[in-house]
Structure 1
Amino acid sequence: MSGGVLFEFVQMGQVMRVAAIDEVTGTEVFVITPVSATRLQMERVALAKLKRKLGEPEETREPPKPGRYA
């Protein structure tokens, strides 16, 4: 992604609809998350889906070990 990403948050009861929009291409995806998730968690999930849709390579980061935070 050469440009920025816009995020839109819409609460619908106990879930949050999070849209991620690529500023350059206008490509948009959305995810549904629990409202209990943090804003950062919501953005990360939406951004990962947007990157997949745009065909960008996945980050090769090892997942955190159980009981530890990344």
Structure 2
Amino acid sequence: MRFKSDILPEGAIIEMVRQGAYVKVSAIDPVSKLEVSIVGDPSVGPDILKSHAIRKLDRMLRARLEDQDKQRRRPQDIPSGWDL
């Protein structure tokens, strides 16, 4: 099961670390340096865990881009009541 992301053209760096009965999976976007982590059951398999981490990274990147877009559209030079 592969998750294709149009927002991650360079792919993601994946790190999996077993911690007791769980696996911590980190996904890093090499372009923006954004890192996300998930914790999962190792019995589900590494492909599914990687897919979930990449989906989370994709969601976080989309949210970051949306926030940046909102910041650009927000009028910055509107005088407040104190400026008059």
The two structures have a TM-score, normalised by structure 1, of: 0.75
- CA distance, structure 2, for counterparts of residue 37 and residue 26 of structure 1: 27
1:24 maps to a residue whose letter is V
Q: Which of 24, 30, 39 lines up with 1:23 in the alignment? A: 30
Q: CA RMSD in A?
A: 1.2
Q: Which of 27, 48, 55 lines up with 2:62 in the alignment? A: 55
Q: Which runs of 4+ in 1 moved over 2 A?
A: none
The count of aligned residue pairs is 56
The two structures have a TM-score, normalised by structure 2, of: 0.63
1:1-70 correspondence to structure 2 within 5 Å: 1-55=8-62
| Structure 2 unmatched runs, 5+ | 1-7, 64-84
Task: Check the 8 A contact 1:10/1:16 in 2, yes or no.
Answer: yes
Q: Counting strand residues as a fraction of each chain, which structure ranks higher?
A: 1
Q: Counting helix residues as a fraction of each chain, which structure ranks higher?
A: 2
What does the per-residue CA deviation read over 1:23-47, in whole Å, with 9 as the maximum and x for residues that have no partner? 1111000000001121100011000
Computing the radius of gyration from Cα coordinates, the structure with the larger value is: 2
Q: Classify the secondary structure of the residue corresponding to 1:3.
A: coil
- CA distance, structure 2, for counterparts of residue 3 and residue 23 of structure 1: 7
Q: Percent identity?
A: 30
